[in-house]
Amino acid sequence: MRLYSDSELPVRPALEVAHGTTLASFAGPGSWYNGAERCEIVREARQARTSAGLQDDGGDEPVYADLSPVARRVARRVAISVDTLTRDFMEEALADGLSVDEYVEVVGVVSRAVNVDLFARGLGLPVRPLPLPTDQAPVRLRPSTACDEGAWVPTVPGGSRGGEEARRIYGSADPQAAPFIYRALSLCPDEAAGLVALGAAQYLEIKDFMDLDFTYEPTLSRPQYELLAARVSALHQCFY
C-alpha cells in the first residue's frame, strides 16, 4: 500500500518513496542504536511534540526499548525546541554519559522523523506508523575520515579528503556536494545519507542547485521555492 494512499492531495511518487524509506530506516540498525532503540527515539520525539501541541496524537505506540534518560532528553529537545540547542546543551549530554556519536544519531533520527511527521500533518493525515524493528545489531563504527572541521562534532569532509566514505554519504566525489548542513550528521553515515535523500526528494539535488529554472512543481518557480524556504527557516530560527 502507498504511504499516502489516504491523502486527498496528490503526492509525487519519488517523495512518497523517500518518506517510506525514511520510516523503514528507523526500524533497522543505525551506527550506535538498534532498530528498537531508534523506534523508541522516534516515539519519544512524537510524544514530546504531541504534548507541546505541535502535532496531533498519533495514538498508542508500544514502548520499543529502554533508552537512557539523557538520550530521551536530547530527543525531546530536538523535537520541540531546536532553536534552544546550544553547544552547552550538547556538552551537558556528553557529560551525562551520551557519546558524541550517539548524540549525532539521536539528532539525525529525530530531525528526519519530524520531517516526515510534519508532511503528514500538512496533508491533514495522522503520523505514519513505524515498521516493526529488526533485531540486527548496530554497526558501532565511526567513519575513518571524520575529523574536526570547526563544527561541534567531527564530520566527514567532502571530495577527496572524505574518500569513498564521502562518496557513499553524499553521493558524489565533488566537495560542493557536501555542504555543512549535510556534513553535520556524517559521524553517523546512514543518518547523513538519509538527510541527503530527503533533501533531494523534497527540495533538489545539489547538482541542480545552480539551475535557477529547476523545479519539481510546475506551479512553483525556483524563486518561489527559495522564498518559501527562507521564510520557513526564519520562522523556525534556523541559524544555518
The torsion angles phi and psi of 147, rounded to 5 degrees, stand at -150, 175
DSSP element (H, E) containing 3:
none
Measure Cα distances from 197 to 18, 86, 89 in Å.
Answer: 7, 26, 28
- The pLDDT-based confidence of 238 (bands split at 50, 70, 90) is confident
Q: What does the pLDDT look like over 95-136, one tens digit per residue?
A: 999 999 999 999 999 999 999 999 999 999 999 999 999 999
pLDDT surpasses 60 at 19: yes
- Express each pLDDT in 70-87 by its tens digit: 999 999 999 999 888 999
Closest CA to 4 of 184, 135, 124: 124
d(CA 131, CA 174): 35
Asked whether residue 189 is assigned to any structural domain, the reply reads no
Number of domains in the chain: 1
Mean pLDDT of 198-224: 90
- Where residue 232 falls (left for φ over 0; alpha for ψ -120 to 50; beta otherwise) is alpha
Tell me whether residue 112 is in a domain. yes
Residue 120, in any domain of the structure: yes
What pLDDT does residue 78 have?
A: 97
DSSP 67: -
Residue 105 lies in a domain: yes
Domain that holds residue 19: 11-136
177-206 average pLDDT score = 94
Quote the pTM value: 0.94
Supply the pLDDT for residue 239.
64
For 176-221, where are the alpha helices, taking DSSP H only? 180-183, 189-202
The reply to whether 129 falls in a domain is: yes
- Is the residue at 95 inside a domain? yes
Determine, yes or no, domain membership for 201: no
In a domain, 193, yes or no: no
- pLDDT above 60: residue 216: yes
